[in-house]
Amino acid sequence: MKKVALIIGHSAKSPGATNKTYGTSEFEFNGPLAHSVAEKLILEGYEPIIIYRDCSYSALPGKVNQTEADIAVSFHCNAFNEKSNGSETLYYKRSSKGFLLASCIQEQVVKCLGLKDRGLKPCVASHKGKAGDRGGLLLQKTSMPCVIVEPFFIDSDASLELANHKFEELSEAYTKGIVNYLRG
């Protein structure tokens, strides 16, 4: 049985970006979403493994690798200026399997939410800049194909409202993208 690591981005102590109007953080949105995807993956015959970030960011790849999962998906949300919108998926720039996994999930998420397709973003741990490595350390240091999904901008009220309204469909989109990749 293939195993899928589902990484809940951020933690209760470090909840990530937060929507000012609704007070919802990345961690609060993505915890239930990851659990919903896990339930659907079980029905599809896969073994999901929920991973909480209860360690340092630099230790997270090791924690993921210990699961010996076939793939890993990290749940996040973008944030910028309360107006931006769109969906994007990040992958390690030297991983053709990561690129394929990102493509499968991105296609389904864009179909589901109908937001701007911001595309697939190649990342690497050595990138320096305002956004840091944008998850490059996790993507590069995991032993399996790993992606970071940013389905919408959580600081945009309209995008968060849409994601909440389409929560079940979004869960199904993640699941379908994962299953499409695993069934090749």
Strand-pair partners of 121: 90
Q: How many domains does the chain have?
A: 1
What pLDDT is stored for residue 136 in this prediction? 82
Specify the 3-state DSSP secondary structure of 35: helix
Separation between Cα atoms, residue 88 and residue 29, nearest integer Å:
17
Per-residue pLDDT of 65-81, as tens digits, reads 999 999 999 999 999 99
| Global pTM exceeds 0.85 | yes
Q: Residue 179: give the domain boundaries.
A: 3-183
What pLDDT is stored for residue 100 in this prediction? 98
72: domain CATH number?
3.40.630.40
Q: Is the pLDDT of residue 130 over 90?
A: no
What pLDDT is stored for residue 57 in this prediction? 84
